[in-house]
């Protein structure tokens, strides 16, 4: 691969981005997380070891890579430091390996409290967030009351900002949710400064670093979090996350010009079926034994929250939409092995709404809820593809499945992933 590359989710998250970024990292100089926060849970399996990365880019497990957390990410410092300790055995020393943007915003305990209160007040209409404080942290950012990493360099300024941020959160809690909470501001203030000491030597202007690197011809691997259908602008709003988790988030999340970012290739990661955690529309969801079989075979339980994931057949209306929004050069199809033992495999190629066929993913939740998938039924391959390394050994039925995806999305499937391990993949283009 000679250019820079974007790896992002083309569904509702958990497509296997972490595994893919980890295995591709050796070919790149920089690995960059540019949006979201510790709501992400990217699993990387290396031999008998399993790493669940939430904030640190998945390139951290390789030697000699520069891993960047750029301005678009919201960082809970205690979680970042905890995660650094978890990868210490491989990363050893973080200097020269992990770089943290001075413009990234910080997630504070009051953001997590507000996340919980907002969810509770929504009752059955709750978003089903990860409760990591992501929405409230981005609200602070866009409301211009947020606190950035750079602000911690000036403890007096930080103290003032923290006082008003916490006062605001308290007022929201009391006046909107009728709940008062007690957080010890002194404790949070000193704890934050203590945590900051642990990462201070890693803080820099990551936008400048990336701009320079890209102009010098360095190869950058951008690691998306969440997925296109959870994008704040283009996803199934309001059942989305609070950042641009499609390719639309690349420029604002890195602070790099679209002229430079535009030169990167974009691959969307898609499972061979669909999963979703949290609430919101999911046209191909299966609530029957096939859904349970997908959950069992795919071990579909959340990396961040442990919640069972909702499962359903592959939705090519959504994938076609994701391919367009992201300008995808290719699809990386993961978890093909999970479909190994199905007699029949269904794939949604369109929706039916009020007797009409729809091929474009609708904005309206009401329309989405009334959409019934129009399926093409394919014969299952019924042999193991687990860990398959030779393209020629791929069963004909699996090729039919891949061809249908390419025809319907107009996007080539470039790689298959056939197991959670780093080595279980095959380039087919």
User: Which residues of this protein are in contact with ligand GDP, per CB under 6 A?
Assistant: 9, 13-19, 41-43, 45, 303, 334-335, 337-338, 417-420
Binders of ligand IMO among residues 135 to 194 (CB under 6 A) are 135
- 14 versus 424: smaller Cβ distance to ligand IMO: 14
Between the alpha carbon of residue 19 and those of residues 193, 256, 409, the distances in Å are 33, 25, 24
- 230 versus 405: smaller Cβ distance to ligand IMO: 230
Within 246-288, residue ranges assigned H as helices are 249-254, 258-261
Segment contacting Mg ion (CB under 5 A): 41-49, 60-68, 271-279, 400-408? Answer: 41-49
* Near Mg ion by CB under 5 A: residue from 192, 303, 334, 417: 303
- 242 versus 409: smaller Cβ distance to ligand IMO: 242
Segment contacting ligand IMO (CB under 6 A): 219-227, 331-339, 346-354, 358-366? Answer: 219-227
What is the C-alpha to C-alpha distance for residues 224 and 419, in angstroms, rounded to an integer?
Answer: 21
Closest CA to 168 of 127, 129, 132, 137: 137
DSSP assigned state of 305: T
Picked from Mg ion, ligand IMO, ligand GDP, none, the partner binding residue 249 (CB below 5 to 8 A depending on kind) is none
What is the C-alpha to C-alpha distance for residues 412 and 331, in angstroms, rounded to an integer?
Answer: 6
14 noted as active-site residue: yes
Binders of ligand IMO among residues 261 to 300 (CB under 6 A) are 277-278
State how beta strands 344-353 and 356-358 pair.
Answer: antiparallel
* Near ligand IMO by CB under 6 A: residue from 10, 226, 246, 334: 226
Does residue 225 belong to the site contacting ligand IMO (CB under 6 A)? yes
How is residue 37 written in tokens? Answer: 């926060």
Closest CA to 285 of 386, 372, 177: 372
Does residue 39 belong to the site contacting ligand IMO (CB under 6 A)? yes
Does residue 9 belong to the site contacting ligand IMO (CB under 6 A)? yes
Q: To the nearest whole angstrom, how small is the minimum distance from the Cβ of residue 55 to ligand GDP?
A: 13
What is the C-alpha to C-alpha distance for residues 131 and 133, in angstroms, rounded to an integer?
Answer: 5
Does residue 362 belong to the site contacting Mg ion (CB under 5 A)? no
- 278 versus 362: smaller Cβ distance to ligand IMO: 278
Q: To the nearest whole angstrom, how small is the minimum distance from the Cβ of residue 167 to ligand GDP?
A: 35
Of 22, 42, 110, 315, the active-site residue reads 42
Q: What is the DSSP string of 58-109?
A: TTTTSTTPEEEE-TTBEE-HHHHHHHHHHTHHHH---TTTEEEETT-EE--H
42 noted as active-site residue: yes
- Phi and psi (nearest 5°) for 352? -110, 125
Q: To the nearest whole angstrom, how small is the minimum distance from the Cβ of residue 344 to ligand IMO?
A: 27
Q: Which residue is associated with the tokens 């998938």?
A: 373
CB atoms under 10 Å from CB of 74, counted, come to 28
Contact positions toward ligand IMO, by CB under 6 A?
A: 9, 13-14, 39-42, 127-130, 132, 134-135, 225-227, 230, 241-242, 277-278, 303
């Amino acid at each position: 691969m000679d250019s820079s590359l974007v790896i992002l989710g083309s569904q509702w998250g958990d497509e296997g981005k972490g595994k893919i970024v980890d295995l591709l990292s050796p070919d790149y100089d920089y690995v960059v997380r540019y949006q979201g926060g510790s709501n992400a849970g990217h699993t990387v399996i290396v031999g008998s070891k399993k790493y669940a990365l939430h904030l640190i880019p998945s390139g951290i497990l390789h030697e000699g890579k520069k891993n960047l957390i750029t301005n678009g990410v919201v960082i809970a410092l205690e979680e970042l430091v905890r995660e650094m300790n978890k990868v210490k055995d491989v990363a050893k020393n973080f200097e020269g390996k992990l770089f943290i943007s001075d413009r990234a915003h910080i997630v504070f305990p009051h953001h997590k409290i507000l996340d919980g209160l907002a969810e509770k007040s929504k009752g059955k209409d709750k978003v089903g967030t990860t409760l990591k404080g992501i929405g409230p942290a981005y609200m602070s950012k866009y409301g211009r009351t947020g606190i950035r990493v750079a602000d911690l360099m000036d403890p007096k300024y930080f103290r003032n900002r923290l006082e008003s941020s916490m006062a605001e959160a308290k007022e929201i809690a009391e006046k909107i949710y009728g709940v008062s909470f007690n957080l010890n501001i002194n404790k949070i203030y000193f704890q934050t400064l203590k945590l900051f000491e642990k990462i201070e030597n890693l803080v820099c202007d990551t936008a400048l670093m990336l701009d320079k690197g890209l102009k010098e011809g360095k190869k950058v691997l951008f690691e998306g979090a969440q997925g296109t259908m959870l994008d704040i602008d283009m996803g199934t709003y309001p059942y989305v996350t609070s950042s641009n988790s499609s390719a639309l988030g690349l420029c604002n999340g890195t602070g790099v010009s679209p002229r430079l970012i535009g030169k990167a290739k974009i691959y969307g990661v898609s499972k061979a079926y669909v999963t979703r955690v949290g609430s919101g529309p999911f046209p191909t969801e299966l609530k029957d034994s096939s859904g349970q079989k997908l959950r069992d075979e795919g071990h579909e339980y959340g990396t961040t929250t442990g919640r069972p994931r909702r499962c359903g057949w592959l939705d090519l209306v959504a994938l076609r939409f994701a391919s367009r929004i992201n300008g995808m050069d290719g699809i990386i199809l993961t978890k093909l092995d999970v479909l190994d033992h199905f007699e029949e495999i269904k794939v949604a190629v369109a929706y039916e709404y009020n007797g009409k066929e729809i091929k474009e993913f609708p904005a309206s939740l009401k329309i989405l809820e009334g959409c019934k998938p129009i399926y093409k039924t394919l014969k299952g391959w019924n042999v193991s593809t687990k860990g398959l390394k030779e393209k020629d050994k791929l069963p004909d039925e699996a090729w039919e499945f891949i061809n249908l995806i390419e025809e319907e999305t107009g996007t080539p499937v470039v790689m298959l992933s056939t197991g959670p391990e780093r080595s279980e993949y095959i380039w087919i283009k």
